[in-house]
Structure 1
Amino acid sequence: MIRRLRARLAVRDAGVMTLSLAIVLPIVLTVVMLVVQAALWWYANQAAITAAREGVEAGRLRDAHADDGPNRARDFLDRVGELAKERSVVASGGPDTYQLTVSVQPLAVLPGFDRLSVTQTVSAPRERFTQQGAP
């Protein structure tokens, strides 16, 4: 009698595991891919801020050429590669400050995320020599 009961229960449970995996697996894979996409966005954000810092350090020097900052930022982004594609590097600022804005596009692993962009702006005072005791 116990064998018959076990046999009946086994027949009713046939395919339940396959069905539950078919429902749960796409959800789990989507969550994993969203985590990967978030990590790629974070990496692009860090690449943009680092490129902007590198460019500001080169562009704020006393005898720096106008293209030194953007060129140094682009060199850094070239080393990063496809993980953070350069969209724009714009230098601005006045006589006392130097500002660099870097915009990059993170690598997209999910459809619809290829329109994301990350923009970072860094500014610093321009290097200048002053006489001792002058402000």
Structure 2
Amino acid sequence: MSITMAIIFPVFILVLLAVIQGCLWWYAREVAMQAAKEGVEEGRRQHGDLHAAEDQGRKVAKNLSGGMLKDPRVTPEQTKDGQLRVTVRGTSLSIVPGIGNLTITQHADGVVERWTSPSR
């Protein structure tokens, strides 16, 4: 009985840690996605303020992550066709030895609002 437990218990612990690690990775991924979405919503307002998008993305990542998304980097960019893309990169908290840092990259896109005059 004790030999069986000596074999099964470490496998059970490893599976449990893998499930917890998967949940931590998923949560950090969701935080990065929400930060990207909030950054786009802030930056797509009239004239597409990239600094506002970056600040909002960082604030959301910091407030929601609880330490699960480490070293979040928010990068807003505006294309010539009026699109705004906010990319959030970071790493997930790792509790399983030997896995290291799991890189997370999420982005959101949106159209920058602008005033136009009606065509006549």
Identity of aligned residues (%): 31
Q: Which has the higher contact order (CA 8 A, sep 6+)?
A: 2
TM-score (norm 2): 0.90
Q: Which residue matches 1:56?
A: 40
Partner SS for 1:117? strand
Which portions of structure 1, spanning 4 or more consecutive aligned residues, are displaced by more than 3 angstroms? Answer: none
Q: Which residue matches 2:78?
A: 93
Where is the strand percentage greater, Structure 1 or Structure 2?
Answer: 2
**Paired residue for 2:54, among 64, 70, 80?**
70
- How many correspondences in the alignment? 118
Q: Give the superposition deviation at 1:67.
A: 0.8
TM-score (norm 1): 0.80
Q: Which residue matches 2:11?
A: 27
Measured on the aligned residues, the alpha-carbon RMSD in Å equals 1.6
Q: Are the aligned partners of 1:77 and 1:86 in contact in 2 as well (CA < 8 Å)? A: no
One-letter code aligned to 2:58: R
Query: Which residues of structure 1 form unaligned runs of 5+?
Result: 1-16
Partner SS for 2:115? coil
Q: Are the aligned partners of 1:90 and 1:102 in contact in 2 as well (CA < 8 Å)? A: yes
Q: Which residue matches 2:90?
A: 104
Q: Choose 1 or 2 for highest CA Rg.
A: 1
Where is the helix percentage greater, Structure 1 or Structure 2?
Answer: 1
Q: Give the superposition deviation at 1:63.
A: 4.4
Q: Give the superposition deviation at 1:64.
A: 4.9
CA distances 1:96-118 after superposition (whole Å, capped 9, x unpaired): 11111101211111123332111
